[in-house]
Amino acid sequence: MIEELTIRDLGVIAEATLPLGPGFTAVTGETGAGKTMVVTALGLLLGERADAGRVRQGQAQSWVEGRWIVDPDGPVAERVRDAGGDLDGPELILGRSVSVEGRSRAIVGGRSAPASVLGDLGAELVVVHGQSDQIRLRSQTAQRDALDRFAGPKLAAALTDYQHAHKRWLANQTELERLILERDQRAAEAEGLRVAIAEVETIAPQIGEDTELAERAERLGNLEELRVAAAQTRQLLSAEDNPDDIPDATALLDSARRQLERAAGHDAQLPPIVDAIANAGFLIADIAAELSSYLAGLDADGARELEIVQERRAELSALARKYAGGLDEAIEFLDTGSARLVELDGDSDRIDQLTAETASDFVIVEKLAEKITKLRTQAAAALGKAVTTELAALAMPDASLIVLIETHDEFTTTGRDSVKILLQPHAGAEPRALARGASGGELSRVMLAIEVVINATDPVPTFVFDEVDAGVGGAAAIEIGRRLAKLAETAQVIVVTHLAQVAAFAGNHLSVVKDSDGAVTASSVRQLKGEERAAEMARLLSGLPDSASGLEHARELISLAHSN
């Protein structure tokens, strides 16, 4: 229940506070005073799209704040806490600002939150009905929703089970149809993968093999140059067949060592140098031995080996070109291609599995759809009877509401039923669809009757009606007021109206008052009691708030409304 609504700089309303509270609140006012802004303000608090054009002229932003009383342990409080907000006991504060640039900011329980959170909360807190909802009631979707609400938790549970099964059935069926449709294409892809994998496996490339082969090719292509350089170096370091006049490095180091050794006994600094020369000789001898081994290892038939290496390099290069990225990608393809091939080769098994699952799910969907149809059919009879009774109390004594269920072959997300609400204006007349057979005033009363009946099985904390009495007058308007008062016994009801017959039944009467300084119109809200209320009722009745006969009629109407 909303306790209080504060509006600032929204439309023509400069600043206003609406004390609401439980029961039936009527909001009245002159044309253009801003009554609709009350509904607009509630819409903003319920997550509706922000319209920068609603910001009051000359102001930077509009601000709306609502103070709700909710169950601290209920779903609304839980959603508020999920959004990071909190309650003060049972009190919940919701706020919304809209700037002239179109920026919007929502406050939920003291914390900023997305406007979508307000929408989630609004679905639990308020049902808003305006003239657009009368038009919406003409649609079969809205009519089915109304019936499902009336059917209550049992249908809601069956519908939830059905939707889960239906979603799974559709998903499996879609995949099955895709696999069957693409079977030839996927078979061709699998065959192509087998050929490609076989080619890669036949060539059997190794990681880094191309680099290794490039190095071998470089070596084999320069064998003679390598042989000459190694042989000449070996000869310079240590050669047994060197002429006496061309000493090698080993001989020179040996001669140097012996020369210095003769004098080493005369100076302690020389023996270490002698040892170093001896070590250098050993090192040179080792290097010469390595060169001997290197020369022995050079392939005498290097040309043939080079040919083999180049053939292998060409083979790998051709493979790498097929896999744009290179040889590593070709090697990686063995893993990815093999995994894809396993998936494709499993199509037959998957098709068999999906065929079985789809058939099983269809049986479940069909049974649940039958259950939903049965529950809707039962609810349709009860709803038609109850609403017909309400219509009699709304000055439509001869009218009957008939709810028809038609079952189709197609399974949709809501079952296989279409719902049609027909209105029979009087006995013997042909029942006609609301879309063709009901005037605006009749739609208003049908909509109100449906809400009164549905609220008994699917209660909503707060109802807001924006000119639900459009196209209605006289006795019918009085009955609408009486029914709104009845609805207010179990829910909070807020009605924007221009009819005194409706406003008379309200326990709380608010008037949107318009003042004008010639340039800017500003409106505020006043709570009316006693003679002020009688004057407003007289204005609604005759347009003359000071008319004696109007005031008398107003007092009589208020007395009549509250004597029942």
Residue 545 pLDDT > 80? no
What would the DSSP string read from start to end of 390-439?
A: HHHHTT-TT-EEEEEEEEEEEEETTEEEEEEEEEE-STTSPPEEHHHH--
Give whole-number Cα distances, 249 to 109, 135, 272, 329, 330, in Å: 94, 111, 20, 52, 52
Report which of residues 158 and 191 the model is more confident about.
Answer: 158
- Which token pair is 551? 């005031």
**11-15, 233-237, 307-311: which range is least confident on average?**
307-311
Residue found by looking up tokens 């309303």 in the block: 13
In angstroms, rounded to a whole number, what is the distance separating the alpha carbons of residues 365 and 357?
Answer: 12
CATH architecture of 1-130+467-528: 3-Layer(aba) Sandwich (3.40)
In 3D space, the residue among 444, 446, 432, 473 whose CA is nearest the CA of residue 391 turns out to be: 446
pLDDT of residue 366: 95
Per-residue pLDDT reduced to its tens digit, 407-463: 999 999 999 999 999 988 888 888 888 767 667 677 777 888 888 888 878 778 888
Condensed to tens digits (0 to 9), the pLDDT of residues 86-125 reads 998 999 999 999 999 989 999 999 999 988 898 888 878 8
Is the pLDDT at 471 greater than 90, yes or no?
no
- Mean pLDDT for the stretch of residues 392-408: 89
Per-residue pLDDT, 443: 78
Instruction: Mean pLDDT check: name the lowest of 24-33, 485-494, 498-507.
Output: 24-33
CATH 3.40.50.300 range(s) for the chain read 1-130+467-528
Quote the CA–CA distance of 440 and 457 in Å, as a whole number.
Answer: 26
Q: Could you say which DSSP state residue 55 is in?
A: B
Identity of the highest mean pLDDT range in 34-43, 53-62, 148-157: 148-157
**Which of 19-23, 314-318, 552-556 shows the highest mean pLDDT?**
19-23
